[in-house]
């Protein structure tokens, strides 16, 4: 019993992280009581909150301008569902997500400073601590990439130094903000508000400055990993300080500054900072190197996860805007544009600073990392391929969409295999990447098959460089030749293009090859042929800079559909009358070149572009060239066998990639008709495992039937 007048004993209030709430901050978000502000940046605001049981969580509320995007909620939910598949050992586990009026993401609260705060307010990491840190972050990337996620904004503010090792946060959110759905794709330059210049990869800088066709892949995260490791060890970034344009130039062209980096980390970090994404190691290879068990070079050994050119898929950011800096002590790095642009002066190293503060905890970290890095993948792996690369075509074209279907099928059947769909400049680009058998074990290419014949025998654009090891896996459909002029142009036939300017695809594309045959060899008249991608060509046609666009691809092609929807009125020129002359040109060229090896017939086919393909464009007879999947003869047998069967048994899924749910009664040619009637399957032999599969269901090329 307390005596009268005696006051209650006074205890200090528990010290909570972050800053006090402001008048406009919410007090509740969903079922979570909001107590403090952890940070604010380009993506949104992060709050410290508690559940009804008092469990602390970090809740990120997405900024209103992103929520206004009609497709954002679906993308956000999809990306977070992917994030929930990531092993939580090295991340902050996703607890809850809402796409309601106020979309938010609730994650496990990790008690510990982020790396940026540690370096700016404390000290850099010393030798062994730096390596433990590097291993922990690489392990997190391995788990994130295995779930099919590209982080896109790995930086010091997104790495938390928890008691038992670093945690990587905020993966997946940037993907949703980018707008990866077709309707959100734009090609103009744009700097995402959350992009951190000091840690962006060269391809991200290229995209932000110039727009165009660039895909951001797992390799961008590897580049950022290297920058974060340099920052942890030295207190500065590999490419110094500066504004966005200056930093963009440095990351693309300057060598990194790796002074003061521990000697055993320098070669690993240097490889991760390669300007070419195809030359960077994968997260798996990073771990092998860090643990002293180097895997071969990714390009030479065929395990590259990002063998893509500078002009690949169209993925751009949001309109340029000044970002807001993180508040001190930000818990969940909020992806601002300016937070890590300037690096602070180097801090003295603290000899005894451990990511895990006790020696026993450090051992536990390393043991757990080793276990996670070396444990068997969940589910079966396809042959010898932990990673499969599908070389396709320009982004969002039918070739690219065929690749996404095959990716879905492989990963559903073999969870231990990750498939990367690589947007490229087209068929010739794809085939050139299949030259080296050692690096092509787990690589396939969607290709125009008549151009593949050129490649195998080293003619036309492959002059004197035959790729004899090329083999076919099976057919997809046809590339229809679209010869397009403006509706108001005084041109109604291909012959009237003589003396005019025509774009016929990029230099390394099947469209370019068909353009050469039709314009140079069949029409035999002076035409200025300009090598350009399809989007740029359609823009030039709109403005009158060129007179016609020749494109060989599936119908409909999304870029053409979008251009028509944006007001470009097109006339498709009929080409059926040119099929016979094009076939004669083929025969006249190859018969003397190949002699007894020559097989005639079936290189070009009649085809029709319909009004269902492109609104406002009538039915147009044209020429079609067969396409399919091609490999190097060294390709993994299990990969080839699976794909050949998939092309036959799931043909409807590939048709859906072109025509959607309503094909209007159209179907791809069956494998039986394509393989038995086209000479290309004799001029480019089937891969042995594919040949065995087709023979087992009664299908053989004409030249193999006796």
Q: What are 416's two structure tokens?
A: 């231990």
The H or E element containing residue 632 is strand 620-632
3-class DSSP state of 606 = strand
Burial of 210 (0-12, 13-18, 19+ CB in 10 A): middle
If one counts every other C-beta atom within 10 angstroms of the C-beta of residue 430, the result is 29
**What is the DSSP secondary structure assignment for residue 52, as one 8-state letter?**
T
**What is the DSSP secondary structure assignment for residue 362, as one 8-state letter?**
H
625 close to 514: Cβ distance less than 8 angstroms: yes
**What is the DSSP secondary structure assignment for residue 396, as one 8-state letter?**
T
Alpha-carbon gap, residue 266 to 100, rounded angstroms:
47
Alpha-carbon gap, residue 417 to 303, rounded angstroms:
12
112 close to 157: Cβ distance less than 8 angstroms: no
Long-range CB contacts (within 8 A, 24+) of 698-701: 698/672, 699/671, 699/672, 699/675, 700/675, 700/676, 701/675, 701/676
Alpha-carbon gap, residue 162 to 107, rounded angstroms:
15
Beta strands in 459-576 (DSSP E): 470-486, 501-503, 528-530, 548-553, 570-572
Q: What are 359's two structure tokens?
A: 């020696």
Angle, CA 164 vertex, CA 160 and CA 165 arms, to 5°: 45
Q: What is the CA radius of gyration of the chain?
A: 28
**What is the DSSP secondary structure assignment for residue 373, as one 8-state letter?**
H
452 close to 684: Cβ distance less than 8 angstroms: yes
What is the distance of C-alpha 580 from the center of its chain? 40
The torsion region of residue 505 among left (phi > 0), alpha (psi -120 to 50) and beta comes to left
Alpha-carbon gap, residue 604 to 348, rounded angstroms:
69
- Alpha carbons within 13 angstroms on the beta-carbon side of residue 360 total 0
| DSSP output for 18-39 | SBPPPTTS-SEETTEEEEEEEE
91 close to 137: Cβ distance less than 8 angstroms: no
Q: What is the 3-state secondary structure (H, E, C) of 118-158?
A: HHHHCCECCHHHHHHHHHHHHHHHHHHHHCCCCCCCCCHHH
Burial of 7 (0-12, 13-18, 19+ CB in 10 A): exposed
Output the CA–CA distances (angstroms, integers) from residue 144 to 217, 222, 268, 282, 624, in the order listed. 12, 12, 20, 12, 41
Residues annotated as catalytic (active site), given as ranges: 153
Alpha-carbon gap, residue 204 to 553, rounded angstroms:
28
3-class DSSP state of 234 = helix
Q: Compute, in degrees rounded to 10, the torsion defined by CA atoms 508, 510, 516, 519.
A: -130
Q: Is 60 annotated as a binding residue?
A: yes
692 close to 642: Cβ distance less than 8 angstroms: no
**Which residues are part of a known binding site for ATP?**
60
Give the residue ranges of the annotated binding site. Answer: 60
């Amino acid at each position: 019993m307390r005596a009268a007048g005696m006051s209650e004993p006074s205890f200090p209030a528990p010290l909570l992280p972050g800053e006090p709430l402001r008048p406009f901050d919410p007090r509740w978000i969903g079922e979570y009581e909001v107590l403090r502000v952890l940070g604010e940046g380009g993506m949104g605001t992060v709050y410290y909150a508690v559940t009804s049981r008092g469990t602390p969580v970090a809740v990120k509320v997405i900024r209103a301008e992103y929520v206004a995007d009609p497709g954002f909620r679906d993308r956000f939910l999809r990306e977070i569902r992917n994030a929930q598949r990531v092993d939580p050992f090295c991340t902050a586990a996703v607890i809850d997500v809402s796409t309601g009026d106020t979309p938010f993401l609730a994650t496990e609260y990790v008690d510990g400073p982020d790396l940026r705060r540690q370096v700016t307010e404390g000290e850099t990491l010393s030798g062994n601590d730096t390596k433990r840190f590097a291993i922990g972050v690489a392990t997190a990337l391995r788990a994130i990439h295995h779930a099919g996620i590209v982080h896109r904004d790995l930086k010091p503010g997104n790495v938390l130094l928890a008691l038992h090792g670093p945690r990587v946060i905020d993966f997946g959110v940037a993907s949703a903000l980018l707008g990866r759905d077709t309707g959100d794709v734009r090609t103009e330059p744009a700097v995402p508000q959350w992009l951190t210049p000091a840690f962006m990869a060269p391809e991200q800088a290229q995209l932000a400055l110039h727009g165009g066709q660039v895909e951001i892949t797992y390799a961008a995260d590897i580049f950022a990993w290297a920058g974060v490791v340099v920052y942890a060890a030295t207190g500065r970034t590999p490419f110094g300080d500066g504004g966005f344009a200056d930093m963009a130039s440095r990351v693309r062209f300057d060598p990194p500054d790796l002074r003061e980096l521990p000697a055993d980390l320098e070669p690993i970090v240097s490889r991760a900072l390669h300007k070419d994404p195809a030359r960077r190691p994968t997260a798996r290879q990073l771990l092998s190197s860090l643990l002293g068990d180097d895997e071969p070079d990714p390009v030479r050994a065929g395990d590259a996860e990002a063998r893509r050119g500078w002009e690949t898929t169209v993925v751009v950011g949001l309109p340029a805007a000044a970002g807001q800096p993180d508040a001190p002590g930000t818990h969940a790095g909020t992806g601002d544009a300016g937070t890590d642009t300037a690096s602070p002066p180097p801090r003295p190293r603290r000899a005894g600073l451990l990511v895990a503060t006790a020696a026993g905890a450090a051992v536990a970290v390393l043991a757990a990392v080793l276990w996670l890095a070396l444990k068997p993948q969940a589910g079966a792996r396809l042959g010898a391929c932990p990673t499969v690369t599908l070389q396709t075509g320009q982004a969002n074209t039918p070739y690219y969409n065929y690749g996404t279907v095959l990716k879905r099928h492989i990963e559903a059947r073999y969870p231990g295999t990750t498939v990367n769909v690589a947007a490229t400049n087209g068929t010739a680009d794809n085939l050139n990447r299949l030259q080296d058998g050692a690096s092509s074990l787990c690589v396939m290419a969607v290709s125009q098959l008549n151009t593949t014949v050129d490649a195998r025998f080293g003619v036309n654009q492959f002059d004197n460089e035959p790729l004899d090891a090329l083999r076919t896996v099976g057919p997809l459909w046809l590339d229809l030749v679209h010869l397009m002029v403006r509706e108001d142009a005084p041109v109604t036939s291909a012959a009237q293009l003589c003396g005019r300017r025509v774009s016929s695809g990029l230099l390394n594309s099947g469209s370019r090859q068909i353009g050469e045959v039709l314009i140079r060899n069949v029409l035999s008249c002076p035409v200025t042929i300009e090598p350009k991608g399809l989007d740029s060509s359609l823009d030039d046609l709109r403005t009158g800079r060129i007179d016609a666009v020749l494109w060989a691809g599936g119908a409909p092609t999304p870029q053409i559909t979008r251009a028509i929807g944006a007001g470009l009125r097109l006339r498709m020129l009929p080409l059926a009358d040119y099929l016979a002359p094009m076939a004669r040109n083929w025969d006249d060229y190859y018969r003397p070149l190949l002699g007894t090896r020559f097989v005639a017939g079936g290189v070009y086919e009649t085809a029709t572009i319909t009004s269902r393909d492109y609104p406002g464009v009538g039915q147009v007879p044209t020429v079609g060239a067969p396409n399919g999947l091609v490999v190097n003869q060294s390709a993994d047998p299990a990969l080839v066998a699976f794909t050949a069967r998939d092309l036959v048994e799931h043909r409807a899924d590939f048709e859906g990639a072109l025509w959607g749910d309503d094909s209007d009664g159209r179907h791809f040619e069956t494998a039986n008709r394509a393989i038995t009637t086209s000479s290309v399957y004799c001029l480019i032999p089937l891969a042995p495992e594919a040949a065995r599969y087709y023979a087992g269901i009664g299908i053989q090329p004409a030249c193999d039937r006796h």
